Structure 1
Amino acid sequence: MASTTTSKFVRVCEDVEIELSLTVPAGGIDEKTPSLIFLHIWGGSSKTFGSVIEILSPYYPTIGVSLRGWGASTGPDEPTAYKVTDFASDVEFVIRELNLKSVVLVGHSMGGKISMAIAGRHLLPAGVLRGLALVGPAPSGPVQLPDPSMKDAQVHAFDNMDNAEGVIRTVLSAPGNLADEVIKAVAEDMVRGSRWAKYSWPAYGMEDDITHLFEHIDVPVVVLAGEKDMLEPVGRMRTDIRDKINNMPHGRANLVVVEGSGHLIPVEKPKEVADAIKQFLQML
């Protein structure tokens, strides 16, 4: 089986245009088959999930999103316009604009936090959002860094290729998982981001508290945790995401530990991520 890929831009407002990479299985799909919407990490783009999408696209329609200010997407020239809820509003607009009737959000790190916000806001038509696949998601409350000095370092992490590649090698990935050319490609996305998109996450996005939205998630969830993830370790994914969801009245969450992976789980272990998403979708 194969799929066809197209690129599309959706204009949300005068200064926000969202880049999308869309795939459709060559053999067509059942109308009940959900579209998979991929929301990337801080510093990513629609390409971040590329290897995962390649595996899943023969079976499911997919939409790789470049969030405002990342990839080829535009965003406001305004430092405070990159909050978690701003990103969430853009994605909700795209879902309505594409007239999607059934979607599963696949969110990585910052994209996971955005996915949780969308699920908790309940602004999509009833029944459209079928589930969440949260890949090393940032927490609903403030991010807990292993070393407080890392926050200051993050402000300049994507200033240039050397900084970005250093962050990928020492913080974001497990040793030996990524080839040099892959590290370079990921770093190019990071450096390419707009000024305020790069600034926003360490400046205030990490501190965005969406706990009041997280507590209203009522769709099935699978949480993917990297075994060697320093930023969002397995223990925290278990207690702060999976267990908290399962303790809510309508909570339904499972945890999958991706062996040998650091924080860049979709890039380091795309097959394992795709397999976990497939299994999750079969249970919906």
Structure 2
Amino acid sequence: MNSYHVLHKEREMAHNAISDPIEPYCLSYVLEKLLVMSTPVSKFVKINEDVNLHFNQTNPAGVDFTKVPTLIFLHFWGGSADTWSSVVRALSPSFPTIALSFRGWGASSGPAEAEAYSISHFASDVEAVIQSLGLTNVILVGHSMGGKVATAIAGRHRLPSTILKALVLVAPAPPGPLSLPSHMKEQQIRAYDNTTNAEAVIRTVLTAPGSPALTDAVVRDLAGDMVRGNEFAKYAWPHYGSAEDIRPLFHLIEVPVLVVAGKSDVIESPEKMITEVQEDLNSRRSGLAKLVIIEDSGHLLPIEKPDGVASAVEEFVRAL
């Protein structure tokens, strides 16, 4: 399902059920599902004068927040809170959710300083949101760059020890520094200069060939998010964020970890996820990290295979 047009689809379902005289039971069923599903509410948390963080929040009715963890979704370099729309839609009937836009991305503002978009800055922002909202039971779900941020949060232990229950790392950027050949680094730097570049990267690098989820509308919306990021946020990851070495923090992770990999991911391959993430964690504490590989998906798992990601997350969380 198109990640950026979910509410339109739900309204269409409800309309069809209401107008169909042959199956009147559909109306009560659809209305029940729409009531259970928590419609995302757009909110902001002001971190400081330069940083106002946007997030979409859902709270299912009847959920005991002390017993059911809030899932906090952290996006990739070039994404936003909307990256997670379809995953949130699948999980929101069962779990409270927060999908956050990092500083400088989506509707979040950020400082006009090139060095203010490090992994540490992002991690501090997420911790501030958790504390501002008074959350006491959370699981971080980080994709790509967001996975590296989630790793840093878990490893540096600045949140009270009882708050963070687990990590889900979706095609995460590994904790060690990424070193690219100069020509590839230049391509990365220019990737989000304009929509033409961004759409080309989406279709040829970030996703599996022929992915049915990649309608023209989805690609346009993804490229729009990428291009709208502020110049400093776009600059930071290829110039220094991806090169940050947070392995000392990675080795201090104590909570259970689920690693989700796309079978056709050419950026963070399943083999890389096994050796650099799962096996490294398990070498320090047996059974700490589990791995799920999702077929027919490239790097943009939340867009390409949202139901697969949601199923993996739910199964992992319910087994904790």
Structure 1 and Structure 2 fold alike (TM over 0.5): yes
Runs of 4+ in 1 over 2 A off after TM superposition: 26-31
Structure label with greater radius of gyration: 2
Aligned to 2:297: 261
Aligned residue among 210, 216, 233 for 1:176: 210
- Taking only aligned residues, the RMSD between alpha carbons, in angstroms, comes to 1.2
Q: Deviations over 1:158-188 (max 9, x none)?
A: 1110000000001000111111111111110
In the TM superposition, what whole-angstrom CA distance separates every residue of 1:93-127 from its partner, at most 9, and x where no partner exists? 00000000000000000000000000001000111
**Is the CA contact (8 Å cut-off) linking 1:22 and 1:63 kept in structure 2?**
yes
In structure 1, the partner of 2:122 is 87
Structure 1 gaps of 5+ residues are: none
Residue number among 177, 185, 192 corresponding to 1:158 in the alignment: 192
Scaled by the length of structure 1, what TM-score is found?
Answer: 0.97
- Where 2:308 maps in the other structure, the secondary structure is helix
* Letter in structure 2 aligned against 1:171: V
8 Å contact from structure 1 (residues 217, 251) kept in 2: no
Match 1:271 to one of 292, 303, 307: 307
Pick which of 241-250 and 8-17 moved more.
Answer: 241-250
Mapped to 2, the partners of 1:54 and 1:155 lie a distance apart of: 32
2:248 aligned partner: 212
Q: Which has the higher helix share?
A: 2
Question: Map of 1:2-151 to 2, 5 A cutoff?
Answer: 2-145=37-180, 148-151=182-185
CA drift at 1:250: 7.0
| Counterpart amino acid of residue 189 in structure 2 | V
**Residue type of the alignment partner of 1:232:** E
Structure 2 CA distance, aligned partners of 1:52 and 1:71? 17
1-side partners of 2:87 and 2:307: how far apart?
A: 7
Structure 2 CA distance for aligned equivalents of residues 211 and 46 of structure 1:
27
Indicate the structure with greater strand content: 1
Query: 2:121, 2:285 → 1: CA distance?
Result: 28
Contact 2:114 2:236 in 1 (8 A): yes
Decide whether aligned partners of structure 1 residues 222 and 228 sit closer, same or farther in structure 2, where only a CA change above 3 A counts.
same
Taking only the aligned residue pairs, the percentage that are identical comes to: 53
Q: What is the aligned length? A: 283
Query: Gaps spanning 5+ residues in structure 2: where?
Result: 1-35
Distance 1:200 1:144 in 2: 15
d(CA) in 2 for partners of 1:238, 1:249: 15
- Counterpart pick for 1:246 among 282, 285, 303: 282
